[in-house]
Amino acid sequence: MTTRVFRFRVLVAVCGLLFATGRAGADEKPVRPNVLVFLIDDLGGRDIAVDGSTFHETPHIDALARSGVRFTDFYSAHPVCSPTRAALMTGKVPQRLGITDWIHAGTKVALPAAEETLGEAFQSHGYQTAYFGKWHLGESDADFPKHHGFEWTRCVNRGGQPASYYAPFRRPGKGDEPNSLDVPDLADAPQDAYLTDVLTGRAIEFLRERDAARPFLLCFGHYAVHTPIQPPKGLPAKYQEKRAKVFGAGETPTVPAPFDAVSRGRQDNPDYAAMVENLDMNIGRMIAALDELKLRENTIVVFTSDNGGLCTLARGKPGPTCNLPLRSGKGWTYEGGIRIATSISWPAGLQPAVANVPAYTADLYPTLLELCGLPLRPEQHRDGTSLAGVLRGGEPGPLRERDLAWYYPHEHGSGHKPSAAIRRGRWKLVHFLGSGRSELFDLENDPGETTDLSAVDPNGAARLEERLKSWIAETTR
């Protein structure tokens, strides 16, 4: 090999390293990427246009998804919120943490202090860390994000939803309830200001006021589009007209669900659609702020949800969105309850692509560490696997056939009865814990889980059920 060829190869290798961790001068350390995680509340797997919605309008979220790697088979770690949020923060399946349901007020259930969270991992490597919005991992002061590695926190309440989306973000006479956002950092919000707008303004303030000498990790837990379904004033009229034009005056169709529950049969709720559009507009505001501050190129932006959309309810009236062709919704271990919209965008480090490898929330912890050039912590994120290779165009290998599983041993207002589920490759088993009944589905040919194949392939169903039960026994505290 000639000296010139050798030097050229060394130069290429060095440039590749700098590209992977951000640009730097010859005498500078590589600039680590910033990280912005959007964790949306109750956003369904078919709620945005790029993933199939024809009623909701989401141009900014669609553009973000197309600018990076968009997943088609990404799952929340659980069918309801608190357990998934725990998995994001720890890289562990929720039952290892003792969190198997949304955290009810007064129960004292909380994210264990001993866990080394995503915030603490990044903070230990010099990142400025921030958390905005919904937390729902403990209601005492000691359980708040500032005690889990986030030095800059804003707009965090003690419950699982906002008492109101309109300032002063509380119900009259209920200022001390867990869902109230009557907190000092929102005290100056104008009367009737809209929560999603105000939260975004506060997050943009962080981007402007942060320590520019340090990279940042910003976790933005939107309260939208969780109930109460309270849209920005004036915007629903647009979707009322759209609904009448597309569907006429007919009633919304419904789809029967197990245990006498009912699912919404199409997306046509003007109030919910307006909330989705407002969320989209505010995602656009954040991306525009990154552009203005010249941060976008070297910022990893994750967009994901904590569970599927609220589609199915037990009270004879469906939820506000529809997840079809996925079955059921929030609260269920069917696909509609756990398959979610997720994308990861990083202009300086990732090429736009579509990934169909099955993945889930717990994978984000190690993935972000590896993308940022930080050491992995396998004892902490023991249930998550880094997706960095897939994001960079590599073959998924064993990721495609690994087990992904869910454990929800509680009833839920969606009509759900205690269940667990496991996916391995194309096959998925849903197991109801009370009756012991199992259903087997071929997701490759039947993503809507319409045909139970457990009687056709009893041996295959039995194998998956055995794997599922072993996993539950291994991971349950």
| For residue 25, pLDDT beyond 80 | no
The predicted structure's pLDDT at residue 191: 87
Q: Which residue has the higher pLDDT, 404 or 175?
A: 404
Distance between CA atoms of residues 148 and 89, nearest Å: 9
Structure confidence at residue 29 (pLDDT): 54
pLDDT at 444 over 50: yes
Look at residue 5 in the predicted model and tell me its pLDDT.
39
CA–CA gap between residue 244 and residue 265 (Å, rounded): 16
Kindly tell me if the per-residue pLDDT of 178 is higher than 50: yes
Measuring CA to CA, how many Å separate 147 from each of 100, 237, 366? 22, 43, 21
Rg value, the chain, Cα: 22
For the domain spanning 418-477, the CATH number is 3.30.1120.10
Question: Is pLDDT at 408 greater than 50 in this prediction?
Answer: yes
> Between these two residues, 442 and 316, which has the higher pLDDT value?
442
The token duo for 145 is 């994000």
Tokens 């959007």 belong to 38
The reply to whether domains 31-395 and 418-477 share a CATH topology is no
Phi, psi of 301, rounded to the nearest 5 degrees: -115, 120
- In this prediction, residue 30 carries a pLDDT of 61
DSSP 239: H
72-88 pLDDT tens trace = 999 999 999 999 999 99
pTM of the model: 0.93
**pLDDT (0 to 100) of residue 13:** 36
CB proximity list for 405: less than 8 A, separation 6 or greater: 93, 420, 421, 422, 423, 468, 471, 472
Cα separation, 406 vs 475, whole angstroms = 11
* Residue 442, beta-bridge partner list: 427
Render pLDDT for 295-352 as a digit per residue (tens, 0 to 9). Answer: 999 999 999 999 999 999 998 889 999 999 999 999 999 999 999 999 999 999 999 9
Q: In the block, which residue shows the tokens 């800059």?
A: 152
Compute the distance between CA of residue 144 and CA of residue 190 in angstroms, rounded to an integer. Answer: 26
Tokens of 474: 């291994």
pLDDT at 24 over 80: no
- Smallest Cα–Cα separation from 143: which of 113, 177, 173, 187? 113
pLDDT at 27 over 50: no
Mean pLDDT within 172-176: 73
Fold of the CATH domain 31-395? Alkaline Phosphatase, subunit A (3.40.720)
How sure is the predictor about 476, in pLDDT bands with cuts at 50, 70 and 90?
very high
**Collapsed DSSP state (helix, strand, coil) of residue 132:** strand
The DSSP bridge pattern shows strands 342-345 and 69-71 to be antiparallel
Q: Rounded mean pLDDT of the chain?
A: 93
Of 13-17, 50-54, 154-158, 247-251, give the lowest mean pLDDT range: 13-17
Where exactly are the structural domains of the chain?
31-395, 418-477
Contacts for 342 with CB less than 8 Å, ≥ 6 apart: 70, 71, 74, 302, 303, 304, 305, 359
Are the CB atoms for 276 and 47 separated by under 8 Å? yes
Of 149-158, 165-174, 449-458, the least confident? 165-174
Q: How confident is the model at residue 175 (pLDDT cuts 50, 70, 90)?
A: low
DSSP reduced 3-state for 2: coil
* Distance in angstroms (rounded) separating the CA atoms of residues 131 and 149: 9
Q: Read off the pLDDT of each residue in 441-449 and give the average, rounded to a whole number.
A: 98
Burial letters 427-459, b for 16+ CB under 10 A, else e: bbbbbbeeeeebbbbbbeebbebeeebbeeeee
User: Across the beta sheet with 438-442, what order do the strands follow?
Assistant: 403-408, 419-424, 427-432, 438-442
Q: Phi and psi of 87, rounded to 5°?
A: -65, -40
pLDDT digits 0-9 by tens, 112-150:
999 999 999 999 999 999 999 999 999 999 999 999 999
Assign 3-state DSSP to the chain and report helix, strand, coil percentages, each to 5: 35, 15, 50
Strand order in the sheet with 262-264: 254-256, 262-264, 312-313
Query: Does 11 score more than 60 pLDDT?
Result: no
